[in-house]
A = this chain, B = another copy of it.
């Protein structure tokens, strides 16, 4: 039993919730997929692993992972909720390619510091932030020419 499973189980127990086979398989799925995904991708993963759940269950499971902090809501694309595994994944920002959809992750400490300064200036208490740069990646730039 992985560390995440222990944490999840403990979280459920404390809140009077149950560790069901469905929740177990969804946990396994988000850890396997890693990175970014949406509900459909999760649902498909489950189907391909012979553990088809109803979408309702998948939707009902996500808030648990959000609250426990295993996952966070990422950038919404075309009205679809996107999630991102945070477990063992330190904060980062995104370059989103409009050509191929690829997401490149990066982190720049100086940008982070400057953001803190901005917040200080406005006496704003930060919970989180998202920086997304949209454009065309190296490969797609070649194709476009």
List A residues at the B interface (Cβ < 8 Å).
76, 79, 81, 95, 97-98, 104, 106, 108, 110-111, 114-115, 117-119, 122-138, 141
Kindly state the separation between the CA atoms of A103 and B97 in the bound complex, as whole angstroms.
27
Closest B residue to A104 using CB positions: B122
Kindly state the separation between the CA atoms of A97 and B125 in the bound complex, as whole angstroms.
9
User: How far, in Å, is A52 (CB) from chain B's closest CB?
Assistant: 25
User: How far, in Å, is A114 (CB) from chain B's closest CB?
Assistant: 5
Known: A108-B114, A114-B110. A122 touches B98 (CB 8 A): no
Across the interface, do B126 and A133 meet the contact criterion of CB distance under 8 Å?
A: yes
User: How far, in Å, is A86 (CB) from chain B's closest CB?
Assistant: 15
Across the interface, do B133 and A124 meet the contact criterion of CB distance under 8 Å?
A: yes
Across the interface, do A106 and B118 meet the contact criterion of CB distance under 8 Å?
A: yes
